[in-house]
Amino acid sequence: MVQAKKTEKAERSDGRKLNEMRKMEAKVGIIKRADGSAMFKIGTTVALAAVYGPRELFPGFMQNPEKGILRCNYDMLSFSVTERKRPGPSRRSVEISLVTKNALGSAINLDQFPNTVVDVFIMIVQADAGTRCAGITAASMALADAGIPMRDLVSAVSVGRINGKIVIDLDKEEEDYDGTTDIPCAFMSRNNEITLLQLDGDISAEELKQAVELGKEGCKQISEIQKKALKERYKEIKNE
């Protein structure tokens, strides 16, 4: 009874409002041997990120004597989805690694570390849509934790259109719904600079503007959570 009532009133299948994101959680410094690491959870999607470097880059011909380079590696673990995912790189993960690199690359500054590489490894432990966004958000915190100079933190969220309504943070059910448009976007919240914008589906120019605007608001909230998580790591020591 209660459930039926809820769905009647709710605008979305899981009872969220159109501009409401899933419950988020962030933690920094989860992997001891990495130079920087972070976890980001949004709903049931969980992403882990580990950063190593600056370190020596092999093969040597890839080294850039002007500045350090960034390498990203995104992967979904085999148990992260209901049906076992074949481990290792795939067409999809290579693409996501590339867009992640571009999304983070414009935020970090590796001029001080020529010939080196900063490696970012993103592992999706649980997948329920929005994994690339969760990955970018986690990786940005891990980079900050590794002491890499950055212009701003990068926060990412997916927005989309379901049944003609613009919504934020789609879950798997919504993403698979017929005719859904999925738009992952990433922002540097201080100056509202876009570092990632992809589009899967169709949408009008006016709606896209609305969607990006909604994503911007969402990323502001995420960036607050990121800040809090980074500060939390040193807070307990301070208040002792």
Partner 1 sequence: MSELLVDEKNVVVPGEVIAQGMDYVPAVGSFRDGDKIISSQLGLVNLSGRLIKVIPLSGRYIPKKGDVVIGKVADIGFSGWRVDIGWAFEANLSMKEASSDFIDKKTDLTQYYTYGDIVAAQITYIFGSKIIDLTMKGPGLRKLKGGRLIKIIPSKVPRVIGKQGSMISMIKEKTNCRIIVGQNGLVWVQGDDNDSIVLAVDTIYKIEEEAHLSGLTDRIKIFLEAGHGSSKKD
By C-beta, is 105 or 114 nearer to partner 1? 114
Residue 139 beta carbon to partner 1: minimum distance, rounded to whole angstroms: 13
In terms of CB distance, is 35 or 75 closer to partner 1? 35
Q: Which is nearer to partner 1, 51 or 159 (CB)?
A: 51
**CA–CA distance, 40 with 20 (Å, rounded to integer):** 17
At 76 the three-state DSSP class reads strand
Contact positions vs partner 1 (CB under 8 A): 35-36, 53-56, 65, 68, 107, 109, 112-116, 144-153, 188-191, 223, 226-227, 230-231, 234-235, 237-238, 240
The answer to whether 40 and 219 are in contact (CB under 8 A) is no
Q: Which is nearer to partner 1, 122 or 153 (CB)?
A: 153
Cβ atoms of residues 35 and 77 within 8 Å: no
Closest distance to partner 1 from the beta carbon of 64 (Å) = 11
Least separation in angstroms between residue 84's CB and partner 1 is 36
Chain center to CA of 49: 10
Question: How far apart are CB 96 and partner 1 at their closest, in Å?
Answer: 23
> Minimum CB separation from partner 1 for residue 53, in Å?
7
d(CA 42, CA 55): 31
- Distance between CA atoms of residues 29 and 224, nearest Å: 18
Closer of 178 and 240 to partner 1 (Cβ):
240
3-class secondary-structure state, position 149 = coil
What is the side-by-side order of every strand in the sheet holding 116-126? 24-28, 36-42, 45-56, 116-126, 69-76
Residues 195 and 156: their CA atoms lie apart, in Å, by 9
The radius of gyration of the chain from alpha carbons, rounded to an integer in Å, stands at 18
- In terms of CB distance, is 25 or 95 closer to partner 1? 25
**CA trace torsion 20, 22, 27, 28 (10° rounding):** -60
Q: Closest separation between CB of residue 30 and partner 1, Å?
A: 13
